[in-house]
Amino acid sequence: MPPRTPPPPPGLVIVDKDRGPTSHDVVGRLRRIMGTRKVGHAGTLDPMATGVLVVGIERATKLLGHLSLDTKAYTATVRLGQATDTDDAEGEPVGEHVPVAADEPRIRDAMAALTGEIMQVPSAVSAVKIDGKRAYQRVRDGETVEIPARPVTVSAFDLLAVRRDGPWTDLDVAVACSSGTYVRALARDLGAALGSGGHLTALRRTRVGPFTLDHARTVEQLAGEPGLSLDLAAAVATAFPRVDLGDEAAADVRFGRSLPAAGIDGVYGVFAPDGAALALMADRGTTARPVVVLAPAG
């Protein structure tokens, strides 16, 4: 038998996703490119969206459920003058085209009203679950969907440019927000506030948690030159608070034993003297217990 190809080293690949493929499609491509089935993603992007998608390789897939991806940043284009049933360009027009009468100061005022801690109704075709079933699936099944408003934080909703495109007014905007915020719902609500209707025509995620486009490569670039964006140690150090251990404590962690509490809120990474990432841990009273052991005893 020919020798088996060794698996790739564990770590994160930060993908600059193209418009069109689903996040699952990207994972399928990365499995072939990286030569392993152990690939997963965090922070799903819609097919029409581009930008930062965090992908875990090998043991780094264990990190994905613990990554703090609670803040995100986007650039986007909002088209005023027409609402759609999906709040983006993929949907069907709803109602008539309404020319935009608002000037730039009024647009900025309407955007300011959608900034801060707000109550937002997610898009009807969102992944929000209603009685255990995704909203978008209920819409596909012909159901009328009523999603309750929920609190989100929009820390920035900035106007970058106003462009007139025939009968349309396009706004280039930048958004920084909490996880669970729908930028297309911002487009919908901005259009409604201006009396014209609105929907999203372009969306690019520039940051999710600590990961930015500076870390990212396209799938095509990865196909030409496969490799990690961050190895396992760098991924843990980037995404979590860091605690460095001595030899004895490192050995305890490798065997899944607890340690004295570090006094850190939430999950943190612990490292061996040689810099290897050993585990994610969390304090429980006076002790720290492993959440994920990344480098078990051999």
Domain range for 114 is 71-208
Q: Is residue 5 part of a domain?
A: no
Residue 55 lies in a domain: yes
Spatial neighbors of 224 by CB under 8 A, at least 6 apart, are none
Task: Please count the other Cβ atoms lying within 10 Å of the Cβ belonging to residue 99.
Answer: 10
pLDDT above 70 (res 245): yes
Residues 189 and 225 in one domain: no
Question: Looking at residue 264, which CATH number applies to its domain?
Answer: 2.30.130.10
**Residue carrying structure tokens 């992908």:** 55
**Residue-level pLDDT at 138:** 52
pLDDT over 80 (residue 298): no
Containing 154, the helix (H) or strand (E) segment is: strand 150-165
Q: Is the pLDDT of residue 137 over 70?
A: no
Looking at residue 283, its pLDDT comes to 96
Residues 176, 154 within the same domain: yes
Predicted pLDDT of residue 14? 97
Radius of gyration of the chain (CA): 22
The answer to whether residues 222 and 121 belong to one domain is no
Predicted confidence band of residue 1 (pLDDT cuts 50, 70, 90): very low
Same domain, 87 and 201: yes
The answer to whether residues 40 and 87 belong to one domain is: no
Beta-bridge mates of residue 129: 134
Greater model confidence, 84 or 298: 84
CATH number of the domain enclosing 33: 3.30.2350.10
**Residues 159-201 pLDDT 10s:** 999 998 778 899 999 999 998 899 999 999 999 999 989 999 9
Place of tokens 């509490």: 261
Residue 272: is it exposed, middle or buried by C-beta count within 10 angstroms (0-12/13-18/19+)? buried
Please report whether residue 298 resides in a domain: no
Decide: residue 23, CB within 10 A, 0-12 exposed, 13-18 middle, 19+ buried.
buried
Q: Is 170 a catalytic residue?
A: no
In a domain? residue 4: no
Q: Is residue 2 part of a domain?
A: no
| Pair 77, 188 in one domain | yes
CB 35 within 8 A of CB 12: no
- Confirm whether 229 is domain-assigned: yes
Q: Show Cβ contacts of residue 275 under 8 Å, excluding neighbours closer than 6 positions.
A: 233
Q: Select from 74, 71, 48 the least CA-distant residue to 175.
A: 74
Same domain? 78 vs 120: yes
1 within a domain of the structure (yes/no): no
CA–CA separation, 16 vs 204, rounded Å?
9
Indicate if 96 and 171 belong to the same structural domain. Answer: yes
The helix or strand, by DSSP H or E, that contains position 105, with its residue range, turns out to be helix 104-113
Q: Using a pLDDT cut of 70, give the percent of the chain over it.
A: 90
In a domain, 3, yes or no: no
Cβ–Cβ < 8 Å for 126, 160: no
pLDDT of residue 26: 97
- Tally of CB atoms within 10 A around 18: 15
Q: Euclidean distance between the first and final Cα of the chain, in Å?
A: 26
Q: Residues 87, 200: one domain?
A: yes
Read off the tokens for 293. Answer: 């052991």
Give the span between the Cα atoms of 286 and 209, in whole angstroms.
29
Candidate list 16, 46, 88, 189, residue with the active-site label: 46
Q: Does the pLDDT value for residue 128 go beyond 90? A: no
Residue 290: pLDDT above 50? yes
pTM above 0.75, yes or no: yes
Task: Supply the pLDDT for residue 127.
Answer: 58
Question: Hey, is 31 helix, strand or coil?
Answer: helix
* pLDDT, average across residues 32-61: 94
Residue 201 sits in the same domain as residue 98: yes
pLDDT for 139 equals 53
pLDDT band at residue 90 under the 50/70/90 scheme: confident
51 and 150 in a single domain? The answer is no
The number of domains in the chain is 3
Cα–Cα dist 65/216, whole Å: 20
Q: Are residues 82 and 63 in the same domain?
A: no
Is the per-residue pLDDT at 99 higher than 90? no
CB–CB of 254/295 below 8 Å? yes
> What value does the mean pLDDT take over residues 235-253?
95
pLDDT at 150 over 80: yes
| Burial classification of residue 232, based on how many CB atoms lie within 10 Å of its CB (0-12 exposed, 13-18 middle, 19 or more buried) | buried
| Helix/strand/coil for 145 | coil
Q: Name the residue among 10, 5, 8, 58 with its Cα closest to residue 276.
A: 10
